[in-house]
Amino acid sequence: MDRFLVTGGARLSGSVPIAGAKNSALKLMAAALLAPGRTVLSNVPRIQDCLTMVEVLQHLGADVAWEDDLTIDAGAVLSVEAPYELVSRMRASILVLGPLLARCGRARVAMPGGCNIGSRKIDLHVRGLEKMGARFSSEHGFLEGVAPRGLSGAIISLDFPSVGATENVMMAAVAARGTTVIENAAREPELSDLAEFLQEMGGRIDGVGTPTIEIEGTGDFHPVRHSVIPDRIEAGTFAIATCATGGQVVLERARGDHMDLVLAKLTELGADAVATEAGVAVGLEDRPRAVDFVTLPYPGFPTDLQPQMMALLSVAEGTSIVTENVFESRFMFVDELNRMGADIRTEGHHAVIRGVDHLSAAPVRALDIRAGAAMVIAALCADGVTAVEDMYHVDRGYQDFEAKLLSLGAEVRRERQLTPALW
């Protein structure tokens, strides 16, 4: 159980390399199950969640080697079961459901756990795959799907543009008989990366990036090499941290075109945020101004940057109103921020943030990946030394977080918490 000790006050400056996108790499790794042979992925972030997905793939019988690149040999898929121990560590493990059903006609996946940010159901995944001919039952904490006669194309209209459901259906549909149409599909850049990967492998997909995706099933997949797109959420986190400390940072390789609304919001609160060929340059000299924002599926403002933005707005000039539309319990970290002197009141899925002129260090906890990043951002601009407990949440999603912050001039130190011996 590591904790972070953060001494507030240092302005972040310099440049920081942005890693590959967690939310893309995990899906590409699952999709590699479709192609017998060696898939090679580069720019996979070295984070705990990707290690968990390696374990999931190994459990299914794939050979995985991770040096500079990640090589997945899914020649022999021997098992169709993703166990609770792995799925409870990382909800994205359920993304093997679509590929396993497509390749083996069967999948047994433990019901997911993952970040505690709302009920996070999987009904849309299940209903989509059922429309394609799969049958599901659940017993003893496992969801079991079978498709004895294979999967067939169908028209699937999602109630909500769920990222995971769109991806699971898309991975199943590329190998199904006939044409699948996903209506009200998600449009996240990570989903476009997955579609590109599937197309390189032999899949036929149209309309990615729009609400209607059309997929022509085919049976012939070959393994390919693919590089993961840069992580827009890591880039956004460093951009917000830079603004919170009145700093100036270049986010190397960040894709400005994946961050339009985030950069627009940072500009609105007074920052200079410019996309260049090398990445994105962000700087803020004065105190941020209050801004309102609502989280929405892409291209809306990402829910995965809501906690970090709330930390920044807690020291803004004026009152901001934030509306969370994607996850129902994503304000749980607000009590932690308030313990540092923030003035935030929540009512349902709205939060009112009255900007205070400073935050003060207090012991706080990282409640999930992004809430943990938000606490570190608050600590970077607080008076004194803040201890952020439970950093393992943050390690699930950020590669070399400590080293990157140190290289930008932050005063941070990781402390290993040893469990007291019981004698």
Asked if 26 is part of the footprint of ligand UD1 (rule: CB under 6 A), the reply reads yes
Decide whether 12 or 185 has the Cβ nearer to ligand UD1: 185
- Output the six-digit token pair for 419: 């469990």
Residues in contact with ligand UD1, shown as a per-residue x/- string from 38 to 77 under the rule CB under 6 A = ----------------------------------------
Contacts made by residues 267-270, CB under 8 angstroms, sequence distance 24+: 269/243, 269/312, 269/313, 269/316
Asked if 349 is part of the footprint of ligand UD1 (rule: CB under 6 A), the reply reads no
Decide whether 23 or 237 has the Cβ nearer to ligand UD1: 23
Omega cis (within 30) before 299: yes
Q: Give the bridge partners for 398, in sequence order.
A: none
381 is catalytic: no
Please, are residues 404 and 240 in contact by the beta-carbon 8 Å criterion? Answer: no
Q: How far is the CB of 61 from ligand UD1 (least distance, A)?
A: 23
Q: How far is the CB of 234 from ligand UD1 (least distance, A)?
A: 12
Decide whether 57 or 122 has the Cβ nearer to ligand UD1: 122
What residue number has its CB nearest to ligand UD1?
164
Please, are residues 31 and 198 in contact by the beta-carbon 8 Å criterion? Answer: yes
Decide whether 74 or 126 has the Cβ nearer to ligand UD1: 126
CA distances to 100, 103, 250, 277, 378 from 242, in Å: 42, 45, 10, 20, 11
Asked if 157 is part of the footprint of ligand UD1 (rule: CB under 6 A), the reply reads no
**What is the rounded CA–CA span in Å between residue 65 and residue 304?**
30
| Residue among 165, 262, 337, 353 that touches ligand UD1 (CB under 6 A) | 165
- Output the six-digit token pair for 164: 């995971």
Binders of ligand UD1 in range 109-138 (CB under 6 A): 118-125
Binders of ligand UD1 in range 283-322 (CB under 6 A): 303-304
Asked if 415 is part of the footprint of ligand UD1 (rule: CB under 6 A), the reply reads no
Q: Which of 50, 115, 243, 381 is catalytic?
A: 115
Decide whether 125 or 226 has the Cβ nearer to ligand UD1: 125
- Output the six-digit token pair for 275: 């996309």
- Segment (H or E) for 383: strand 382-383
Asked if 326 is part of the footprint of ligand UD1 (rule: CB under 6 A), the reply reads yes
Interacting stretch for ligand UD1, rule CB under 6 A, among 129-137, 163-171, 248-256, 336-344? Answer: 163-171
CB-facing half-sphere around the CA of 355: CA atoms within 13 A: 18
CA distances to 56, 155, 250, 407 from 236, in Å: 29, 35, 12, 17
Residues in contact with ligand UD1, shown as a per-residue x/- string from 85 to 114 under the rule CB under 6 A = -------x----------------------
End-to-end C-alpha distance for the chain, whole angstroms = 20
Asked if 162 is part of the footprint of ligand UD1 (rule: CB under 6 A), the reply reads yes
Decide whether 303 or 308 has the Cβ nearer to ligand UD1: 303
Asked if 160 is part of the footprint of ligand UD1 (rule: CB under 6 A), the reply reads yes
How many residues touch ligand UD1 under the rule CB under 6 A: the total is 20
Q: How far is the CB of 411 from ligand UD1 (least distance, A)?
A: 29
Q: How many CB atoms lie within 10 A of CB 183?
A: 12
Q: How far is the CB of 126 from ligand UD1 (least distance, A)?
A: 7
- 264 φψ region: left (φ > 0), alpha (ψ -120 to 50), beta (else): alpha
Among candidate residues 362, 399, 382, 295, the one with its CA nearest the CA of residue 9:
382
| Strand, helix or coil for residue 243 | helix
CB-facing half-sphere around the CA of 282: CA atoms within 13 A: 36
Q: How far is the CB of 87 from ligand UD1 (least distance, A)?
A: 12
Q: How far is the CB of 104 from ligand UD1 (least distance, A)?
A: 22
| Residue among 164, 217, 355, 372 that touches ligand UD1 (CB under 6 A) | 164
Q: How far is the CB of 192 from ligand UD1 (least distance, A)?
A: 13
Asked if 247 is part of the footprint of ligand UD1 (rule: CB under 6 A), the reply reads no
**What is the rounded CA–CA span in Å between residue 182 and residue 291?**
35
Residues lying near ligand UD1 in the complex (CB under 6 A): 23, 26, 92, 118-125, 160, 162-165, 303-304, 326-327
Name the residues annotated as catalytic: 115
